[in-house]
Structure 1
């Protein structure tokens, strides 16, 4: 099968301006995704979809091919699903034929090669999309509530006889470590959970999703610890 990896990176990030080219360790943030993709067995091409000339320049410097994203697909309100479709349609119009679509968001720089390879291995004939998850720190069955306008509160999931956290069903947070899908599924459906979804569990230390400066600081700490451990070995 032919596997194409994609990194979708807007230039007008609001939570942390310029985050996609902000240096994390020895490389710009987006470069961490490119470098992992280059090491994954089976990935044949790496593309960066962006509206930013600065991001495009960094992507090219690290060996990725750039797809220019239309401005209307790079706003705060534009669903990234539409950017996925644009990239697929653009490449197909250029004569590219590929079997598997992999999205490796720049905001998850601590993923491992093994995480991505496990996602690729999980896409089979009975699965449309593979996502990554990490164990949640809170549970809708135990300590997550909804409130009304007067402050009245109740558990998100009611009716279950759960008195201890250990009794609650295991729940997971979706992460942005990786998404794997068939291109045809993306083109013919409106969202991930329109299809048959399988998940791969990633440990929390590799699942940091950078949205603001606090997430970025956490990624710096975890990356420094990882590099220190590697040196000590």
Structure 2
């Protein structure tokens, strides 16, 4: 299966300004993901899609040449990942490269391991729309999640007669680390409407996603405590 590895790295970030080039565990955050991607594909099959000349210059220092700079219309807070992926895929298709799947690796998952990607690939089949990494959610809609009804009162998000959280059916949340996407499916519809999605369960420690300054501080603490990445 021929796979295009896509690493999205927008220059602007309100949650953690400059996060993709900010040092984490001794090197800019995005380089952790680039080094991991290189274990699964040659540079010609890796697409860092960015709008930032600064990010482009940084990865150039690591010997990687960005194939294009993403247009500003695909680099705003409102830009969707679906459009970003299609834009990158179109560039490679117009260059004569043909792929069957996309491996989407976001730089904000620094503790993702090669064996996680290998397992996700092993779960993928041509009949699936996507394999996605998840973690078990502590916020269970049968137990601790509520919605406000038309009368202004809270009621359970999902009905069920469960006394203990442990008795509730497990629920899963995307952890943002790994997406193995069927390109035929992507060309037909966005990921959020996929019907044939296979989960790959990751533990909470390796599921850390950097979205806020508190996330960053927590990840640095975890790395110092558990030596997840070399310092």
Q: Which residue of 1 aligns with 2:216?
A: 216
> How far apart are 1:190 and its partner, in Å?
2.4
Larger mean Cα displacement after TM superposition, 205-214 or 91-100: 91-100
RMSD: 1.9
Could you tell me which runs of 5 or more consecutive residues in structure 1 were left unpaired when the two chains were aligned. Answer: none
In the alignment, the residues of structure 1 paired with residue 215 and residue 224 of structure 2 have an alpha-carbon distance, to the nearest angstrom, of 14
| CA deviation profile, 1:62-100 (whole Å, cap 9, x unmatched) | 344413111101111111110000000011111112222
Contact 2:11 2:51 in 1 (8 A): yes
> How far apart are 1:24 and its partner, in Å?
0.4
In the alignment, the residues of structure 1 paired with residue 207 and residue 228 of structure 2 have an alpha-carbon distance, to the nearest angstrom, of 19
Contact 1:129 1:192 in 2 (8 A): no
2:37 pairs with 1:33: no
> How far apart are 1:133 and its partner, in Å?
0.3
Could you tell me which runs of 5 or more consecutive residues in structure 2 were left unpaired when the two chains were aligned. Answer: none
Count of residue pairs the alignment pairs up: 228
What are the residue-to-residue correspondences of 1:188-203 with 2, within 5 Å? Answer: 188-203=188-203
Cα distance, 1:38–1:229 mapped onto 2, change above 3 Å? closer
Q: Which residue of 2 aligns with 1:105?
A: 106
2:11 pairs with 1:11: yes
Q: Which residue of 1 aligns with 2:91?
A: 90
Contact 1:47 1:64 in 2 (8 A): no
| CA deviation profile, 1:106-134 (whole Å, cap 9, x unmatched) | 11111011111111111113211111100
> How far apart are 1:151 and its partner, in Å?
4.8
2:51 pairs with 1:51: yes
3-state SS of 2:112 partner: coil
Q: Which residue of 2 aligns with 1:123?
A: 124
In the alignment, the residues of structure 1 paired with residue 210 and residue 7 of structure 2 have an alpha-carbon distance, to the nearest angstrom, of 14
In the alignment, the residues of structure 2 paired with residue 229 and residue 16 of structure 1 have an alpha-carbon distance, to the nearest angstrom, of 20
Q: Which residue of 2 aligns with 1:134?
A: 135
Tell me the TM-score normalized by structure 2: 0.92
In the alignment, the residues of structure 1 paired with residue 228 and residue 133 of structure 2 have an alpha-carbon distance, to the nearest angstrom, of 26
